[in-house]
Structure 1
Amino acid sequence: FGFDARSNLIKAAESAGEEMYHELVRRAERQIATKARTRPYKVKDDIVRERKYKVLRQKAEDVIEFSYRPGNCKRDYRVVALRKNISVERGESVLFSEYRYFFYITNEAEMTADEVIDQARQRCNQENLISQLKSGVRALHAPVNTLNANWAYMTMAALAWSLKAWCALLVPVSPRWAKRHGEQRRRLLT
């Protein structure tokens, strides 16, 4: 899982030699069955450059792993550190480059460092999805605390939705009042 970038971890990652780092190889999200399409021209980049906004661009991602013992633990854990090389640009000029570190702590010895980072990112995506479904629409949130009560609540919600849809279908659409009845039907269905 992800771990805060504390100063002692950053020092450990910086003190390792440059030859210890290797470039992160990202796994492709999907295979392209046909030929790759040409990317459209990025108009926004021209506007940002022209107006001289400050831009952060990621140049490289490097990975290193080392052992680390958290404060109150009795054993060492494996830490995978991801170092992102970010260049800060304004207009056409590059102001400076900086490193940002992301740490992942694990006790998995069989996985490679790239696989650890990939697993952590997939888990974060799943946690984001769950939080959006629970707090945003609240479609998957049942307000009661037992399985049978949740089942009854979802059954009532499904029946209410079906009744609302049937009411919308019962609204007559006569030619004389077609516009008004069409709006009423749309309002009931949404």
Structure 2
Amino acid sequence: MKKLLLFIILLLVMQTTLLAQSTEEDRMLLEQVGPEKFKELAIQRLKQTKAMVYQAGEANSATINQATTGSKPNVAIITQIGALNQATLTQQGHGNTLTATQNGTNNTYSGYMDGYNNSSKVVQTGSGNEINQLIDGSGLDYTLIQEGHNNTINQKESSLNSRSYKVVQQGNNMNITIEQSNWGVPVTISATKK
């Protein structure tokens, strides 16, 4: 009986912790996107599955794997601040959305998106950062932005009928490789030396 009571108390504590964590995530999201966008995202929550990661510090690692089941698209929001952080994403299906932000040095984002009408926005600020992304599917929309020095982008796209996308690198000693199997897609690539 004592073990059962202890187990129930432990479950209640865990639920309270999860609720507090969810409330803190909502507060951070509200600060990041503003009240209007937050309201829009809150309404979409009922129609989507969401994964949100916020990490500050060094040598953090985040992995999100999502696959569309039924009519609910996936949303992934990753924010990492610090050095030597790694974010890995896999999304499969339709209507999926990714927003990844890494601020700091020597951070790495690795992503794989497969499906149609998916969108991806990866922003890295700092030096020695790297984006590695593989895109499959159609009707895709993505943006890759790096500001700093000694940053690298590697992207391989094997998509048909993708929408135009944007790649921006600002800084010194930047490296970029983009491979496309469908060379009819309009691309905007901007590399600026600061």
TM-score band (shorter)? under 0.3
Higher relative contact order (CA 8 A, sep 6+): 1
More helix by share: 1
More strand by share: 2
TM-score by length of 1: 0.24
